[in-house]
């Protein structure tokens, strides 16, 4: 019998985790498609070992070093005997796999071939960010711009359905087939780095709106998000997480490579490169930049309305934007909200002096040869 390679999840482990997901659905509200899609996504891992999946996806998938094995953690007491059943949240935690050099949640990684082969259409618009860099904020601004400030049209469905995520089309609605059938222009979100965006977007010269956020605030926000995002690995302690963030051992990989990749690629395609801090400081100006990029002209009153509707307090209370409709088994907002603070400089409340020194040293080393500059406060 072949012993599984270190760090590669076995079929049995994946099957056990799938059962945990299914149990989470029992007794829940019927017809919750997001939950069902996530279960189906995890179920796909049980059909083959992850190493076999890696071959099928033309990528090398390994569980990322340092990621907690939450599916088995907590079952055994220190002396070897069984302890009480662990909390459901820990059991359901996802794992990271390496695909084309990129750490991805396993429920996304198993569908890598569909992601890479996605067919963009002429006129499509791609909203790209590193996670926790103002993605939902930008999506809402773009939605209001395209619908001429009509709030009711932007309340027709949750934001993740109105502007679907490329990486999650096999995990949640609208599914890949539905998106494929949509007429252009389609608005699509992605966290993929520039070099892994499906080539069809470049072949059709699709517009790209990229938003970058300073690394310290991104790491802070990502840590808090991963604490409640069951579809992501357990973040561990803040110090552990920061080390993984700096080394790129988190979902969607290195922040440094991501922001630099789009910065260096912005002159090779039709891209608008924005900064989170600039939008926060002067939303009217940045909304007008997005409008111009999309070829839209709107009255001043409408622009001011869009700025108001996408302010943090409004977004926080907007059920179609704040992910409150998302199942708690996937994003648990019982302890903190998806819309947490939305500030520039919140990193100062969690970074120790030593952590800030280490980050600054790492930043200088990795950002030394780029013209890309960030504000860490406004």
By annotation, the residues acting in catalysis are 191
Contacts of 296 (CB under 8 A, 6+ apart): 145, 146, 148
Residue listed under structure tokens 């890949």: 176
How distant, in Å, are the alpha carbons of 12, 14, 184, 297 from that of 82?
19, 20, 55, 65
Identify the helix (H) or strand (E) that includes residue 274.
strand 271-275
Contacts of 352 (CB under 8 A, 6+ apart): none
Task: Tell me whether residue 239 is exposed, middle or buried, using C-beta atoms within 10 angstroms of its C-beta: 0 to 12, 13 to 18, 19 or more.
Answer: exposed
DSSP string, 73-119: TTSB-TTSSB-PPPPHHHHT---EEEETTEEEEHHHHTTHHHHHT--
């Amino acid at each position: 019998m072949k012993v599984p390679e270190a760090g590669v999840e076995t079929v049995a482990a994946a099957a056990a985790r799938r059962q945990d997901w299914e149990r989470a659905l029992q007794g829940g509200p019927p017809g919750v498609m997001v939950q069902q899609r996530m279960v189906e996504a995890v179920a796909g891992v049980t059909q083959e070992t992850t190493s076999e999946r890696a071959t099928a996806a033309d990528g090398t998938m390994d569980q990322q070093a340092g990621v907690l094995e939450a599916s088995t953690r907590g079952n055994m007491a220190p002396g070897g005997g069984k302890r009480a059943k662990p909390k459901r949240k820990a059991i359901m935690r996802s794992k990271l796999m390496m695909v084309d050099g990129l750490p991805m949640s396993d429920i996304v990684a198993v569908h890598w071939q569909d992601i890479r082969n996605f067919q963009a259409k002429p006129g499509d618009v791609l909203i790209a960010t590193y996670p926790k860099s103002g993605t939902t904020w930008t999506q809402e601004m773009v939605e209001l711009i395209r619908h001429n400030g009509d709030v009711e049209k932007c309340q027709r469905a949750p934001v993740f359905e109105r502007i679907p995520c490329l990486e999650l089309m096999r995990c949640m609605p609208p599914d890949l087939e539905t998106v494929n059938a949509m007429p252009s222009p389609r608005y699509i979100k992605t966290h993929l780095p520039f070099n892994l965006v499906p080539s069809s977007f470049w072949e059709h010269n699709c517009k790209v709106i990229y938003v970058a956020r300073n690394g310290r605030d991104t790491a802070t926000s990502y840590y808090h998000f991963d604490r409640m995002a069951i579809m992501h690995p357990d973040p561990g302690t803040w110090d552990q997480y920061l080390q993984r963030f700096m080394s790129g051992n988190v979902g969607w990989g290195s922040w440094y490579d991501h922001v630099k990749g789009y910065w260096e690629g912005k002159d090779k395609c039709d891209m608008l490169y924005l900064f989170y801090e600039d939008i926060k400081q002067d939303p009217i100006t940045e909304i007008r930049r997005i409008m111009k990029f999309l070829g839209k002209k709107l009255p001043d009153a409408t622009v001011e309305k869009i700025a108001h509707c996408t302010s943090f307090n409004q977004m926080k209370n907007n059920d179609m934007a704040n992910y409150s409709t998302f199942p708690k088994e996937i994003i648990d907002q019982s302890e903190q909200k998806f819309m947490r603070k939305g500030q520039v400089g919140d990193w100062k409340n969690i970074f120790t002096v030593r952590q800030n020194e280490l980050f600054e040293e790492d930043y200088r080393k990795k950002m030394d040869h780029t013209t890309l500059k960030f504000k860490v406060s406004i």
